[in-house]
Amino acid sequence: AQSVAQPEDQVNVAEGNPLTVKCTYSVSGNPYLFWYVQYPNRGLQFLLKYITGDNLVKGSYGFEAEFNKSQTSFHLKKPSALVSDSALYFCAVRESSSASKIIFGSGTRLSIRP
Amino acid sequence: DVKVTQSSRYLVKRTGEKVFLECVQDMDHENMFWYRQDPGLGLRLIYFSYDVKMKEKGDIPEGYSVSREKKERFSLILESASTNQTSMYLCASSRGQLSYEQYFGPGTRLTVT
């Protein structure tokens, strides 16, 4: 069965520093991976996806994610964090038995201090 | 822009009540989903629908049912609410069979007392 793991419940970063939010996955077949973000009191928003091709995927708000097949990881990154990046981040993987379904990780709360 | 709306942001119900959560999307999406979000557990799929009157169970369907009579509307029903159903409920929609991006509503925070 497909699954994703987010090993950190919380990540704290100073504004202006680079940030990384970790995600590892387990899939049968080719992985289809996603990152979503949830700002306070709002629904989830799509950030980026990896389907195939370049291992470095660029998304919204300056975020990018690096797909690493050998380490089965899909870490979210940003070169310079902003206070406004503080939010809850979810990694997700497509369910292989149903192309429409995706499975979400437990979430990582990112806190950027001024 | 895709818009997914949910009927209530906050809802308080009593144990044993029948509860209806409504979701409407305005982009003619085929697929609609109901999740519940609990701290430390992420999002868990309750039910989804890939067409009008079609539904499939997700990972945690027990205690819930759904209805999709029109393409744009997907309802989640708690037949007899219980305190362990206190949670944030999120509705989402997506297009077609190979759609990768889901669009979410703002959520309904349900408290069952």
Give the per-residue pLDDT at A40.
Answer: 85
The pLDDT score that the predictor gives to residue B86 is 98
- pLDDT, tens only, B2-14: 699 999 999 999 9
- The pLDDT confidence band at residue B97, using thresholds 50, 70 and 90, is low
A45: closest CA of chain B, how far (Å): 7
Residue B74 has pLDDT above 90, yes or no: yes
* Whether the predicted pLDDT of B61 surpasses 90: yes
Best residue in A32, A90, A100 to probe B by mutation, most B CBs within 10 Å? A100
Q: How confident is the model at residue B98 (pLDDT cuts 50, 70, 90)?
A: low
CA distance B31 to chain A (A): 7
Mutate to test the interface with A, among B23, B100, B103 (most CBs of A within 10 A): B100
Chain B residue at shortest CA distance from A95: B100
Give a three-class secondary structure readout of A27-60.
CCCCCCEEEEEECCCCCEEEEEEECCCCCEEECH
Q: Does A53 touch chain B (CB under 8 A)?
A: no
Cα–Cα dist A73/A71, whole Å: 5
Low-confidence ranges of chain A (pLDDT < 50): none
Cα separation values, A13 from A56, A109, A113, Å: 22, 11, 6
Under the banding of pLDDT at 50, 70 and 90, the label for residue B1 is: low
Q: Is B102 on the interface with A (CB under 8 A)?
A: yes
